[in-house]
Each structure stands twice: as C-alpha cells, then as structure tokens.
Chain A
Amino acid sequence: MLSRKKTDSCTTSFSHRKSILLGLDSDSIIKKFFGSTAMVAILVLGLITIFLFKEGAGFIGLYHKSLKEYRLSGLEYVDILKEKREGYASLTRYLNDIKAEWINALRAEGLTQSEINKQVMAPEAKAFFFGYMRAGGEIRSFVKDKMDLAIASRDQHTTNENLRETLNNYVAQIKRLKESALSWSEENRNTFGLRLREAALSGSIGYDEGTDMRQRAEEVQQGAQLNLEDKELFIKLLEQEYVKVERMIQPVDFSITVKEVVADQEAYKNILIRLEKKLNDIITSSNAITFGSQSITDRIDRFKDLNAIFFNQSAIHLETLASWNSTKEVSVWHAIGAFIRGKDWITASDQQDWYGLLPLLSGSLLISLIALFFAIPFGIGAAIYVNQIAGSVERNFIKPYIEFVSAIPSVVIGFFGVVVFGEAMRFLSQSEFLHWVPFFPLQERLNAFTAGCLLALMAIPTIFTLAEDALNNIPHHFKEASFAIGATPLQTTLRVIIPTALSGIISAVMLGFGRVIGETMVVLLCAGNRIKIPDFTDGFGVFFEPVHTMTGIIAQEMGEVVNGSLHYRALFMVGIVLFFVSLLINYSAQRVVKKYGKLES
C-alpha cells in the first residue's frame, strides 16, 4: 500500500491528479468504463426489443397484404360458401354418429352382426342415412368449382409477384455489370458459367457456335481470366433470361376473376332450395324407421331441429353473399385484429394462411393454470414447512435439494414426461377402477395435463425459493411477540408470518407463473401440439386435451420457415407477445413487493 502511495503523482500539496485523457484522470476513466459496461443490461433489453420488432414488425404489412388478396381474389367469398357446406357436413357427421349409436345399442341387445345389418341396411334406413349423405353432391361441387377459381387467380397473382421480383433482380444485376469495370465476384462467375452452359445446351443464342461456348464455360469454371467479351455475353444472356421470365407473367385482374367467382348466385340459391327439399323429404321418410330405444329417437328429433335451424339460416347466408364486396377496404387494424383475436393458426395451406394468436395463447394459459394449480400449494406449503415447522436437520437437507431440482434441465423433464409420465397417465386412465372419471380413458397421452404437471415440478423450486426467502425476511421479533402472547406455532405462522410475507409470496407465485408461461421444452415435448382452442364446454375434460403453446410453436416452426416470409414474421410476433407478457408479469411482481412489502425498519 505504501509504495503505491508514493507512485501516485500527488506531492504534499494537494494538487489534482494528473489528467490523462480529455481532462479526465485515471480514476474517472475507469469509472466511465465500468459505467458503460453496466449499461449492458439495458442495452440487451433494448436490443431484444429492437430485433424482435425488426423481424416481427413486417408481419402486419405482409399479413395486411395477404388479407387484402384474400378479399380481392374472392377467397373470402368462397369461405362464406364453405360455411354452409361445413354446416351440412357436420349435420352428416351427427347423423353418422346416431347411426353408430344405434348399431351399438342393437349389439348391446345381443343381436348378431347379420341381424343388425338387416335392420340398419333395411331399404328405408338405407335411404335415410345414405340419401342424406348423397344429397349434398351438388353443393359440394359448386363450392369446389368456385374455390378452385379463386385459388387459381390468387396463386397466379402470387407467382406474378415473385416473377416481378426476379425481373427486378435481373435489372439490378445488369445495371451493376454495365456500370462496373471488369470485377467479377465469385457469385457472378458461377452464374455466368451456369448460364453459358445452359445457353450452349439449348442453343438458344445465335452467337457463335454452341461448342465454342461449352468450351468457354468449362474454362470459366476452372477460373480462366474473364474479359470484356465475356461481360457483354453475360449481359446478353441475362437480358435474354429477362425476356423469357417476362413472358411467363400472365397478368391477373382480380376485378374480372372475382366476377366469375361471385357469379351464379341465383343458381346457388336454387341449389340450396333443391337441397332443402331433398333433405326434408329424406327426413320425413325416416319416420318410417323404428329405432327402438328412446335416446336414439330423441337424438333423431334433435337432428330434425338442427336441420330446421340450418335451413332457416339460408336466407341470411344468401344475403351475406349478396352483400359481399371484393373492393371493400381492408384496414391495417383488421390485420392486427386478425392476429390478436384470430381463432386459427393455419400455415402452408393451399387456400389462405391464418395467423391467429388465440389457440396458442389459450393453450399457454391452460397449461399455466394446471401447473400453478399444483405448484402453488406444494411450493408455498413446502416453503412454510421448511421455514416454520421443520427442524434444522430437515431444513439443511430440503433447501439445497429443492434448489438442486431447479437445475434439472427442462428438456430432461420433458423427456421424462414423454417416456414415463405420459405413459403412466395413459395406463392409469385405462385402468378399471378409474372408469367413473368422465373423460377417461384418455385419447392422448400427451396433453395439457401432462405438460402442466411437469411444469409444476419446474415452477415449484422457483416458488419455493422465493417464498422461503420472503418468510425468512420476516424479522424474528414478530414470531417472539406472537409466542409471548401464547399463540401456537401454527397460529403464529398463519396469522402473523404469512400475512406479513404475503407480498413476497404473491410475487413468488407471479414469477413462478412467468417461468411456466415462458418454458419451452416441456410443452414442446409433452403438450401434444394440437393447434386448436381447447374446448371449454367439455368440463374438466378440457384439461386433458392436447394443446399448442406460444413457446412451443416458435420452437417447432422456426426451423422450417423461409426467412423473411409471412410465417417467419408471425413467429416473431408471437415472440414479441411472449416478451411483453413476461415483462409485464415480472414488472408487476416487483411492484407488488414494492407497494405492499413495506415493513418498518
């Protein structure tokens, strides 16, 4: 220390330290240096935001464009048509379901297969079941024709755009070549060689003989010196290519094609009327069939009601079709709304891709709900036990143990879920003594419940550690005071310690929630990955449906998309949502502690 003191430049007069750079002495430079590194956290947060938005923001524009084309090409109109077709199709499914139930009922009565066939395949029954299914041929083919029309025009439009982009690239390339001196990039050299060979093969160019060019191509490939002649040849080749591509563009005028799609509304109306008549006849004829059991007759009645509703809606349906207008403006807000409120996530379809957040968000929330349902009681319960009830031996074992559990890699937990837990769940659900549970046996071994349970195992250490910290921070004198009045340990814990630590415990739960909703590998492996909004009408069965999540979809689809495409940007949009949801959770957890966690010093 003393020697260092001497080397410092001060003499006995208290002069300032020598400045070395821009009037700063060494210490303040060091301070500035550390100050700047401390900004790294802010910087990273900023960069995350910037890059997520950089990649994701283009989504709205692209999606807007896609939705505009959806309307202009008439695909939207076709989708309205399809609704009716779908209605009919689901009625058919309902009817088939009744048939299956009928067969089962007959079998339960002890009839043999041939006897059953006799009943089910009786002429009137056959006319009913098959007639109903066949009646829709006309509407099916009508809708299909219209759909093909709309898709064809939309696809041609997309192709044209791609081709135009290619043309622009050619123009730019030719321009660059013309301007620059003889500097061939590696890429140019390769393209040139390729083009030369192609041209030589096809003999499309009237310049010199093909053999000559083939030879030149080989030379170029081997790295021969390139000269002015080559450059001109290259430009010429490119221009030829340009013309060829230009010819491939077949302009699409949506205003014309859409007219074709929208045409025949009168004919469609007639089709519907015919369908109604046919179906009604068939349904009336069904009265001749005797189903035997009351429940089936009830379902048939219900089926009739549903049919009536189906036909009643026809008028509105036709009206919607008539009032549909391809030139109606699609606003940007519509695109944003279609993302946030969208109920479908359909990618790589031949008709229209939909990027709706709801199925993913609801899946994430459902799984989090299950995970927290288990993690909160176990996490907090264990924290209370360890902090308030357990002796020091137990405490010294459990605390590090649970901390160790928090280090189990999520992918290992996911693997365990796939191999052991999912199997065990299925096995359990198939066992006889659990048959009374309404949704057992399970359809899928990988479902929201499987993922939720495993996520709970991940969230418990988080909740435990933070809640235990919060309990530990309660000053000892609260406990003493309560004991001195004659409170039991449990009363003290429940009435003094927990209320005082409540803000810390709540924030622990929130951070646990943050961890659960942001977890990727477990949900990717164990949630079943079915992209559909869970059917909440199913009671508790909803917890056993396979779902997909926000984190899972990014991990699953990111590797397979084209960079910069609409799909790619949609995944980044999901990332943005995830990022801000987690920031919000984290921030509010801190607020809770700050606002309600004030203890006197």
Chain B
Amino acid sequence: MVTKTNSSLKECTPIIEVSELDFAYGSTQALFNVSMDIYEKQVTAFIGPSGCGKSTFLRCFNRMNDLIEVAHTKGGNIKINGVDINKPDVDVIELRKHVGMVFQKSNPFPKSIYDNIAYGLRIQGIKKKEILDQVVEECLRSAALWDEVKDRLQESALGMSGGQQQRLCIARALAVKPRILLMDEPCSALDPVATAKVEELIHELKKNYTIVIVTHNMQQAARVSDRTAFFYLGKLIEYDATDTIFMNPNNEQTEAYVSGRFG
C-alpha cells in the first residue's frame, strides 16, 4: 500500500509490519484487509471519520482488544520487531511492556502522582527507592511535568488539571521504557493550551520513541505527524507522508475528507 516515500522523510526501518489484517467484533467486521508499515522513531497519525476503525486498529498493536470478549482477529498478522504478536507463544504482558498506550480520557489511578508513575516499575518487582525516585523524575521531566508537580508528588493525581493528568498518563506509560507509544485521541478532552503542550511533548518524545496517534483533529495530524494514514469504513484508504496526504492526496475520498467536505 505504501506507494511512495516522500524524499523529505529520512529513511527508517519499519518497526510494525501489518499485513492483510481482518478484525471483527462478533459478526461485525471492523477492519478489512489492512496492510501497512510503521517506522521507527516517527510519528504516525491515523485519521478518519468516527467509527472508521482507526481506534480498533490502534488497539490491535498492544492487543487491548483482548479485553473485549467477542473481539477477534480473523486474518492477517501484525509483526512488531519481526514477531507476530498474535501467535500463542507471545506473552501479551511482555508485549504491552514494549508497546505503551495513552487513552482518550486521562485515566490516572486514584493514587499519588509518585505512585502513579512508580506503578509500572513496582509491578515488575522493582522496589528500590533510589531507582524509583530516579525514574519518576526522569519520566516527569520527559513529560514536561516535573517543574509543575515536583513539590506535590505525594498528592493525589486526581487533583491535577485535565492537561496535567494526560501528561501524567504519558509519563506513566514512559516509565516502563516502551519502544512504541500508542495514543488514542490524547487531546480530545483538552483545551487548546493543554493540547499545545501535549503536542510539544509528542514532538520531543519522537526522538526516542515510535509514536502512533489516532486523532480527530486534522490540523493536529498535520502539525505532529510524519506520516498519516486515512481510514474509511474499516479500510485503509491512503497512507503516505503527512505533507502528501494533506497537500496532494492520491485518493478522492482522502481529499474530500482533509478538505473538510465530509466526516
């Protein structure tokens, strides 16, 4: 499906390879024959109208769909780092340690800020205070939150503002040192100022992480991503460098969508 690579993009190795994926909830098929590669240390955005399957697709990467009993993969496969993640010998827990996720609605645990971030380490059995302290600070710094919260690390995370909570969730996801970070409309519940901060953060994180972001907001996709994929009715319509998608799309539907004529 990848038709051409824009010369402005640096050459990268694919980290996620999807081939001919079919996915269904019970008898309703949600994804049809999707194939694409996602490249390391780039931001890839999924756009498309509501219900087009982009969130479902995203949740396939860390098998979050396992939580829904009727959801199942009907065909095709997803390889991350060359490993087919739907094979029975894949430990979904190990997978999720490598593929972090940030949700649409910020969802900090009802614990202190510190404990929220330390959670991911503690469940791996790391209990040493020095290590925890260090990682918490590191993650909060990477999430550009350290200066705002360093004096109230022991306070409940539920007392933070919406934007702060979302950045805390990003910091929390970073604590387990994933290589890929999935973001499911991370800014949809945030005001423009908070959104700008998160976008800035995404830009920073790109240096070290592969980021896949689902967004409703086309400007946001244009601002933050290197590549963009357009989904419609469960099908991948077009996937290319962001500039190409927005300036010079190949497909009529894509053009109609990005220019705001539908969706």
Interface size on B, residues (CB 8 A): 30
A486 touches B96 (CB 8 A): yes
Residues of B within 8 A of A485 (CB): 96-97, 100, 119-120, 123, 172-173, 175-176
Residues of A within 8 A of B136 (CB): none
Cβ contact of A500, chosen from B95, B101, B109, cutoff 8 A:
B109
Known contacts A487-B93, A496-B109; A481/B169 CB under 8 A: yes
Known contacts A478-B107, A480-B67; A486/B94 CB under 8 A: yes
A480 touches B176 (CB 8 A): no
Chain A 493-527 per-residue mask, 1 if CB under 8 angstroms from chain B, else 0: 00110011000000000000000000000000000
The B83-120 residues at the A interface (CB cut-off 8 A) are: 93-98, 100-101, 103, 105, 107-111, 119-120
Residues of A within 8 A of B107 (CB): 475, 477-478, 480-481
Interface presence of B62 (CB below 8 A): yes
Cβ contact of A484, chosen from B96, B108, B123, cutoff 8 A:
B96
Of the candidates B119, B124, B172, the one having the most CB atoms from chain A within 10 angstroms of its own CB is B119
Residues of A within 8 A of B9 (CB): none
Interface presence of B71 (CB below 8 A): no
Residues of A within 8 A of B173 (CB): 484-485
B110 touches A599 (CB 8 A): yes
Residues of A within 8 A of B152 (CB): none
Interface presence of A479 (CB below 8 A): yes
Known contacts A484-B62, A484-B173, A600-B158; A477/B93 CB under 8 A: no
Closest Cβ of chain A to B72, distance in Å, is 15
Interface presence of A392 (CB below 8 A): yes
Interface presence of B69 (CB below 8 A): yes
Interface presence of B122 (CB below 8 A): yes
Residues of A within 8 A of B175 (CB): 485
Residues of B within 8 A of A392 (CB): 69
Closest Cβ of chain A to B87, distance in Å, is 18
Interface presence of B189 (CB below 8 A): no
B109 touches A478 (CB 8 A): yes
Bound together, the chains give a CA A495 to CA B109 distance in angstroms of 10
Bound together, the chains give a CA A479 to CA B67 distance in angstroms of 10
Cβ contact of B122, chosen from A475, A477, A481, A495, cutoff 8 A:
A495
A486 touches B123 (CB 8 A): yes
Interface presence of B64 (CB below 8 A): yes
Residue of B nearest to A477 (CB): B107
Interface presence of A587 (CB below 8 A): no
Closest Cβ of chain A to B124, distance in Å, is 8
Cβ contact of B101, chosen from A484, A491, A496, cutoff 8 A:
A484
Q: What are 17 sample pairs from A and B whose C-beta atoms fall under 8 A apart?
A: A475-B107, A477-B107, A478-B110, A480-B107, A481-B108, A481-B169, A483-B67, A485-B96, A485-B123, A485-B173, A486-B97, A486-B120, A487-B93, A495-B119, A495-B122, A495-B123, A599-B110
Q: Which residues does B use to contact A, with CB under 8 Å?
A: 62, 64, 67, 69, 93-98, 100-101, 103, 105, 107-111, 119-120, 122-124, 158, 169, 172-173, 175-176
Q: What are the 3 closest A-B residue pairs judged by CB atoms, nearest first?
A: A486-B97, A484-B101, A477-B107
| Other contacts beyond A480-B67, A482-B109, A486-B97: 16, CB < 8 A | A477-B103, A478-B110, A479-B67, A480-B103, A481-B103, A481-B172, A485-B123, A485-B175, A486-B94, A486-B120, A486-B124, A486-B176, A487-B93, A487-B119, A495-B123, A499-B111
